[in-house]
């Protein structure tokens, strides 16, 4: 079920690789302490024609929080410098499978650009199938990008706090179950353990197959249902720092659930505020 607005297969990308208006972005990002350098790995090998999207740099560096959504002007200028703009079909991948690429998919949508898809299975699947890679930088030509920020797609801490109190949204946390319950400490120092009161837990990995591809829409619906996610309400996705929350956002879009927003500060923000309530244990 290839959909150029959500998810495309390696077969689809291989068939369209030479399309003049295709732009491919490597959005690899790794957890702090992983000892992996995504840019160095990109320079060594990437899908032909790909550009590197630096999630940490193309962000709001005025914020103390990691990789918050960038100002509109910064997003436009960085993408223009990469030769990505209006009229392009964008495909985003990462070197984990489906991990950080959905974050960039969500950023494009936040900026009003909807012709963007995540590569299902990412670079590992592409390589496993013996498809071409290169280590050459692409030829860049400037392309204007029109941005219309979709403010309803992102939530700040005040809005999420209100949603938790009123229950008018369902908050869904993408972190692993032991982090959600507070059984294990957070990887970032100084954060409390637990979750936003009333939140439901759908660890992002449960939405993926053993091969690192996204499960079918039917399986995705069942996973959200089992987690107690009330689909009659709009959804706010959350995680550790706003990366894997976008995997949930992508999965929701795949099942036709369009009224979702992402809590950009996520637990890095919530867990650092001593005055914000937390819950522990299972949802």
Catalytic residues: 239
Of the candidates 72, 79, 85, 34, which has an alpha carbon nearest to the alpha carbon of residue 54?
79
Q: What is the CA radius of gyration of the chain?
A: 18
The CA distances from residue 100 to 28, 29, 31, 53, 141, in Å, are: 6, 6, 10, 11, 26
Two structure tokens written together for 266: 């996520």
188 touches 261 (CB < 8 A): no
* Residue pair 119/93 in contact by the 8 Å Cβ criterion: yes
Exposure string (b/e) for 51-73, b if CB count within 10 Å is 16 or more?
Answer: bbbbbeebbeeeeebbbbbbeee
Taking CA atoms, 31 is separated from 37, 51, 208, 217, 240, in Å, by 10, 21, 19, 28, 10
Q: How many other C-beta atoms are found inside a 10 Å radius of the C-beta of residue 238? A: 29
């Amino acid at each position: 079920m290839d959909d150029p607005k959500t998810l495309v297969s390696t077969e689809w990308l291989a068939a369209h690789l030479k399309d003049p208006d295709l732009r491919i972005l490597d959005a690899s990002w790794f957890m702090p302490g992983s000892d992996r350098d995504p840019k160095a790995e990109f320079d060594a090998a990437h899908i032909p024609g790909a550009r590197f999207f630096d999630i940490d740099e193309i962000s709001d560096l005025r914020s103390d929080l990691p990789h918050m959504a960038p100002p509109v002007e910064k997003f436009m200028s960085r993408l223009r410098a990469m030769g990505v703009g209006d009229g392009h079909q964008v495909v985003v991948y990462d070197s984990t499978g489906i991990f950080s690429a959905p974050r960039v998919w969500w950023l494009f949508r936040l900026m009003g650009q909807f012709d963007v898809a995540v590569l299902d299975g990412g670079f590992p699947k592409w390589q496993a199938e013996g498809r071409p890679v290169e280590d050459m930088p692409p030829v860049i030509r400037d392309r204007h990008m029109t941005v219309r920020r979709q403010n309803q797609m992102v939530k700040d801490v005040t809005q999420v706090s209100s949603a938790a109190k009123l229950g008018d949204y369902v908050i869904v946390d993408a972190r692993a179950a032991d982090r959600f319950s507070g059984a294990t400490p957070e990887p970032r120092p100084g954060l409390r353990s637990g979750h936003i009161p009333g939140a439901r837990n759908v660890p992002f990995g449960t939405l993926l197959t053993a091969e690192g591809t996204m499960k079918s829409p039917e399986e995705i619906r069942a996973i959200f249902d089992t987690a107690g996610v009330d689909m009659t309400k709009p959804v706010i996705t959350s995680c550790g720092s706003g990366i894997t929350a976008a995997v949930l956002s992508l999965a929701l879009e795949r099942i036709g659930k369009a009224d979702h927003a992402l809590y950009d500060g996520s637990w890095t923000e919530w867990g650092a505020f001593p005055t914000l309530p937390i819950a522990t244990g299972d949802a």
